[in-house]
Amino acid sequence: MRNLILTVLLSVIAVVSGYVEELDDKFKEYRQDELWLVEFYAPWCAYCHTFEPIWYEVGAELKSLGSPVNVGKMDTTEHSSIASGFNIRGYPTIKLFKGDLSFDYNGPRTKDAIIEFTNRVSGPVVRPLSSVQLFQHVMSRHDLIYVYIGGESLLKKEYYKAATEYIVHTYFFSASEEILPKAVTLQDVPVVAVFKDGTYYLYNEFIDGDLSSWINRERFPSYFQIDSFSLYQMGEQSKLVALAVVDEKNPSEESIRYKTLMERLATEYRDHYKSDYQFGYMDGNEYINGLIMGEVAIPSIIVLNMTIDGYCLPESKIETIEDLLRFLNSVLDGSTSLLGGNGFLQGTKRIFFKAKSTVVSMFQTAPIFSCFVCGLPLGIVVMVIWATCTAVPAYEEKPEEGATASPALDAQGKKANELQSGSAEKTSEAKKED
């Protein structure tokens, strides 16, 4: 019975893994006319192994959905020349290839999120909305969409260009004036609108600068639950992030007050702060602690400069909206000093902090594997020391026994050398992989 289950399981895995192609150097040639979603991995990357079943599920689901996107994976250590051409910095890296363009996936590594991304990016860059019903359907499904309203124009060309750049983050549509809800009043067409926060905002080229940077600035809701992925993306935004760090499972009265204050500020002072601040709240302090290399209290209010990993904490307790306004303004005018950052000292501290947390989490998630990984170099060092020490007394042996002693010494000595060069090779290999 158990054998049967095992056989069935294995054949399911075989079928499912059939939807993911192992790619090699020829990928460069045949990717031109096809859509490809590719995972770049390294055999030594432990997380890549954990991720593998998800990748197979992605392949199987795209196939069953009838998606035109092929799914592949590439061992970057074996095909390093092609991988370096794609600028792979971490593992696993996920990219979607569409014609000459490639799009990086930076979201959560879950099946649903990856499939959503694939469907969005592989489809048309700008999707036409042809009816009131379709418009309402789209609005009900997405928190944030951009819509171009009007006929052919220079603005439309710019809109397509910006959409190609930002399709990795969100959806872009086009529509005619007639299909918009009655609540939308336009003075001029063509125009670009962002629908979010339960309302809409229009792009004004005289106030907002070029379209592409306006789209970048507006691509998050004014106030929302921020996770580590969206926080990371905010580094590209040249906005500060004002965050209420709270415990969502056991919200204290103060947590709720901080969130309410943040939300009020985000809506009531939107026009005032929209180019300086992104507002939101975050559940738990784990990610922030890693970022600032310290511990923030829960709940607390913090301002982050994601470009340089800098942060500001209020000097006194925030009780009212005036306190919060004062704090945000003091960050803007520079009277509250920025801590952290990625200067030399902070950079060094970060390396140690990261190394420490990596080792800690390694031992927490895979203790036996970690013992092996940490034990191996230690074992080699011990063996080298042992080999050297046991070789020494041979010199002190009597001449007549020297004849028998020296071959043993040779063997020992040689062994030690082998081991040393062996470990030297290991480190140089490890460097290469880095």
Closer to ligand NAG by Cβ: residue 308 or 362:
308
Structure tokens at 425: 């090779």
The whole-angstrom separation of Cα 290 and Cα 340 is 11
How far apart, in Å, are the Cα atoms of 299 and each of 115, 243, 328, 348?
35, 10, 17, 29
* Total number of residues shown for the chain: 434
Q: How far is the CB of 118 from ligand NAG (least distance, A)?
A: 32
> Two tokens at 376?
């191996």
What character string, x for contact with ligand NAG (CB under 6 A) and - otherwise, covers 286-305?
A: -------------------x
Residue 79 in contact with residue 24, Cβ under 8 Å?
Answer: yes
- Exactly one of 77, 80, 213, 238 binds ligand NAG (CB under 6 A); which one? 238
From 128-136, 180-188, 235-243, 344-352, give the range in contact with ligand NAG by CB under 6 A: 235-243
x-or-dash string of contact with ligand NAG, 126-155, rule CB under 6 A: ------------------------------
307 sits near ligand NAG (criterion: CB under 6 A): yes
Asked about 312 being catalytic, the answer comes back as no
Cβ atoms of 57 and 15 within 8 Å: the answer is no
Residue closer to ligand NAG by CB (options 167, 242) is 242
Contact 193, 129 (CB under 8 A): no
**308-327: which residues touch ligand NAG (CB under 6 A)?**
308, 310
Residue 254 CB burial class (10 angstroms; 0-12, 13-18, ≥19): middle
Residues near 386 by beta carbon (within 8 Å), at least 6 away in sequence: none
**Which residues, 6 or more positions from 222, have their beta carbon under 8 angstroms from its beta carbon?**
196, 197, 266, 267, 270, 274, 279
Question: Which is nearer to ligand NAG, 343 or 422 (by Cβ)?
Answer: 343
Strand spans (E) along 322-409: 339-340
Identify whether 45 is a catalytic site residue. Answer: yes
Element (H, E) at 300: strand 300-305
Among 94, 114, 193, 240, binds ligand NAG (CB under 6 A): 240
Segment interacting with ligand NAG (CB under 6 A) among 223-231, 306-314, 350-358, 409-417: 306-314
Does 330 bind ligand NAG (CB under 6 A)? Our answer is no
Site for ligand NAG contains 239 (CB under 6 A) = yes
Asked if residue 215 binds ligand NAG (CB under 6 A), the reply is no
The answer to whether 340 contacts ligand NAG (rule: CB under 6 A) is no
Which residues belong to the active site? 45, 48
Please report, as ranges, the residues that interact with ligand NAG according to CB under 6 A.
238-240, 305, 307-308, 310
